[in-house]
Structure 1
Amino acid sequence: MNAWRRLLLAMVCGVAVASVYAAQPVLEPMGRDLGVSVRLTGWIVATGQIGYLAGLVLLVPLGDVVDRRRLIAVHLALITVGLILTASASAAWVAFVGLAAAGVFAVVVQTTVAYAASVSLPAERGRNIGVVTSGVVVGILGARVVTGTLAEVWSWRSVYALLTVLSLGLAALVLVVLPSEEGPNRPAGYRRAVVSLGGLFAQRIFLARGLIAFFLFASFGTLWSGLSLSLADTPWQLTESQVGLFGFAGLAGALGAARAGRWADAGRAAPVTGLALALLILSWVAIAQLPWSLWLLIVGIMVLDFAVQAVHVSNQHLLTSAHPDRISSVIGSYMVFYSLGSALGAAATTAIFTAHGWVGSSLLGAGFAVCGLAVWATDRRRPLDSANFRSDKVGTRQAREETQGIDQAGQAMDDPRVL
């Protein structure tokens, strides 16, 4: 895959995920305009995450049935429907419907990552996934900067209008620039693709990586959904555009983890995951100092987003390598944990902040990080069975036959090309 196509796919991810997270830095004015109480503003973001969860189960498996290139274009076009509803909403329920709809089709991110993985050579898969998923981080964090500025100059509605234009433009570019896939045979149909999701949740490696993602993004959501409320409060009382500037700190940290895909290609996904989760915990020590120091907050944000991106890329590289014949389904199932964790963090942090202030929110975020590290450590201590050591292609195929089509994901853990 050439650099221009990687850039286009990263942009698709960025715009799609921004449609879900753009509300984070403007929760206060958006909630006030729509008549939503401060205690419940976290649900503005959580609603998009709930829609995202539905899309993961119902739409992402389509990527294993139909041409992903066309699916990406269609989903981008449909995102605009939700964005238009949100931008034009005069009542809270209309905005919530729009946010949920945008969230449903924002799962185009997973279809895009699956497309990138399927057209990549094995030796480049980690690198390409790393570059493409960096668009997700740019979308989440870069949107904070743009949203804050546009909200202060015009209004929060202008952000969704801009995203509408970008989504439609990218849909057209995808059809013109990207080639159709030339991959393995796809499953017999949509129903089979959806049903196959259930088998993944019984696999140790998938469940462990999924639980890590759940706690990882619950911690991430705790920071970014609660941060604007704290910065707009005393003693800082920052404006929307000033709050949005903190997205640069997160962006710098996340892009610093751009090599995570290459680390995974080199066989270091497991130790990198453990180290990154430990850094995630430490980041909250600095983030908790927000009432007294903005500089320590900036350092904490950079470390947190570095850790989140490193773990996320490692997880996806490992799982797509273990399941090359149903990449969309495995990524969609994995992202169920991501969506649930993000929604939990977004909804919980505003309630905790209202009751206990930023210290309470920081303890919540750190607690999620500790749980993620505990899952990683527990999984590392569990012994592997002998089948896990057959890492060559023939062994992989035989293991699948022995289990009647259910992937032996544990093989990938000991494959030096994956870990």
Structure 2
Amino acid sequence: MDRGLVLVMALASGMVVANSYYAQPLVGAIAAAFGASTTSVGLVVTASQVGYAVGLALLVPLGDLVERRRLLVAILAATTLSLAGMALAPSWPVLGVAALLVGVTSVVGQVLVPFAATLARPDERGRVIGSVMTGLLLGILLSRTVAGLVAEVAGWRAVFWLAAALMVATSLLLYRRLPVVAPSTRLGYRALLRSVVRLVAEEPVLRLRMAYGALTYASFGVFWTSVGFLLAGPGYGWSDAQIGLFTLVGVAGALAARFAGTLADRGHARTQTGAFVAATAVSFVLLALGRTSVAALAAGVALLDLGIQGTHISNQSLFYPLRPEARSRLNTAYMTSYFAAGSLGSGLSAIVYSAYGWTAVCVLGALFPVAGTLLWAGETVSRSRARRCEVTSCPART
């Protein structure tokens, strides 16, 4: 696959997904601007995540039905208008509605990832997916840094005006560089959505990977929704720019994307899943210590992003080959559960932080990947037992 095209896809994925995360380091400034509580502004962040899950369910399947270049340009036009709505919002409820619409239309990366998997050869698919996902994760991380720096200089509204301008540029880039590929299905839209449900029912590997993804990304939502309150609060007292720059410590997760993809191409996706999910769980021990130690907090962020991104790439490398003609719909099923779980984690985090503080947030965040680690251990035991039964005749069970 042409490296220039992979770079374009990675760049576009990162710039668009950033729209759902610009508000996270700005929660303190937004709360002060509107005189709102931390819970209220935390729900604005949650609204963006909920919108993203809705967009995954309703827009991403169209990647199998509509020519992708045309689809992406149309979606980006709606994203641009929604970002302008955030920049002009007169109150936090209006900001929340605009954030919801931004989330719905910021799913371009989830159309591009299965498109990249379709264009790549089987022996390079994991690496290509990892490269595009690296761009996507860098977009998530750098969005917070950019938001913090821009808000420090020009105010938080300028962040969303800049984002709208970037969407216009991204639209032009994709229109010029993406190849035109005919849709893979002629199903009607309703039949297309129903087929997503059938894929979940018929593919046990997909269901399992949805569970791993949901249990790790829920912890991501828990952490990133409340860390801005911690860093802006009395313990740290950091500015928007300082909070934004701090998020760069998660770049280790972006580096893990290519590493996980390469290992997946060599057949290690199932084995490495357990290590990445467990790393996500362990990260919350460091994050809890981060209430008073910036070094522990930084190490925890790096380990958290490493575990979540490694799990994500491992999952994608296993479910994309299941149905080559339905990769957008496979991605829809997986990513809808993924971001629905992130929305749940985000909403719970805002409530728990307001009521019980940072340590309780870390306990909540750890519960999800601990459950994922137990699930992986059970799957491994079952798989080992099944292999033994292939070699020796196991007695029939009643």
Q: How would you bin the TM-score normalised by the shorter chain?
A: over 0.9
**Size of the alignment, in residue pairs?**
386
Aligned residue identity for 1:190: Y
Paired with 2:256 and 2:316, the residues of 1 have a C-alpha distance of 18
Do the aligned residues in 1 keep the contact of 2:253 with 2:310 (CA within 8 Å)? Answer: no
State the TM-score, normalized to the length of structure 1.
0.88
What displacement does 1:35 show?
Answer: 4.1
Paired with 1:235 and 1:94, the residues of 2 have a C-alpha distance of 31
Please state whether the residue corresponding to 1:382 is helix, strand or coil: helix
Aligned residue identity for 2:139: G
Map of 1:216-231 to 2, 5 A cutoff?
216-231=216-231
Paired with 2:38 and 2:15, the residues of 1 have a C-alpha distance of 27
Paired with 1:247 and 1:340, the residues of 2 have a C-alpha distance of 23
Aligned residue identity for 2:200: F
Paired with 2:171 and 2:63, the residues of 1 have a C-alpha distance of 16
Paired with 1:381 and 1:326, the residues of 2 have a C-alpha distance of 31
Gaps of 5+ in 2: 391-398
Partner of 1:392: none
Map of 1:240-255 to 2, 5 A cutoff?
240-255=240-255
Paired with 2:156 and 2:386, the residues of 1 have a C-alpha distance of 54
Please state whether the residue corresponding to 2:181 is helix, strand or coil: coil
Aligned-residue Cα RMSD (Å) equals 1.7
Partner of 2:396: none
Distance 1:177 1:361, change over 3 A: same
Partner of 2:340: 340
Do the aligned residues in 1 keep the contact of 2:50 with 2:103 (CA within 8 Å)? Answer: yes
Residue deviations 1:227-246 (CA, integer Å, cap 9, x gap): 11111112211111111112
What displacement does 1:289 show?
Answer: 0.9
Aligned residue identity for 1:196: S
Partner of 1:394: none
Do the aligned residues in 2 keep the contact of 1:287 with 1:297 (CA within 8 Å)? Answer: yes
Paired with 1:74 and 1:56, the residues of 2 have a C-alpha distance of 15
Paired with 1:36 and 1:197, the residues of 2 have a C-alpha distance of 39
State the TM-score, normalized to the length of structure 2.
0.93
Do the aligned residues in 2 keep the contact of 1:288 with 1:362 (CA within 8 Å)? Answer: yes
1:318 corresponds to 2:318: yes
Please state whether the residue corresponding to 1:259 is helix, strand or coil: helix
Paired with 1:198 and 1:182, the residues of 2 have a C-alpha distance of 24
Partner of 1:103: 103
Partner of 1:151: 151
Paired with 1:209 and 1:337, the residues of 2 have a C-alpha distance of 10
Paired with 1:140 and 1:91, the residues of 2 have a C-alpha distance of 25
1:269 corresponds to 2:265: no
Do the aligned residues in 1 keep the contact of 2:41 with 2:92 (CA within 8 Å)? Answer: no
What displacement does 1:252 show?
Answer: 3.0
What displacement does 1:125 show?
Answer: 0.9
Map of 1:75-90 to 2, 5 A cutoff?
75-90=75-90
What displacement does 1:85 show?
Answer: 0.3
Residue deviations 1:95-142 (CA, integer Å, cap 9, x gap): 122111111111222111111111111111111111111122111111
Residue deviations 1:234-277 (CA, integer Å, cap 9, x gap): 22111111111121101233324421111111100011110011
Aligned residue identity for 1:44: V
Partner of 1:138: 138
What displacement does 1:385 show?
Answer: 8.0
Residue deviations 1:176-232 (CA, integer Å, cap 9, x gap): 11211268x424332221110111222321111111111111111111111111111
Partner of 2:187: 188
Paired with 2:212 and 2:61, the residues of 1 have a C-alpha distance of 22
Aligned residue identity for 2:153: V
Partner of 1:301: 301
Please state whether the residue corresponding to 1:258 is helix, strand or coil: helix
Aligned residue identity for 2:278: A
Aligned residue identity for 1:27: V
Do the aligned residues in 2 keep the contact of 1:257 with 1:310 (CA within 8 Å)? Answer: yes
Paired with 1:98 and 1:361, the residues of 2 have a C-alpha distance of 27
Partner of 1:400: none
1:115 corresponds to 2:115: yes
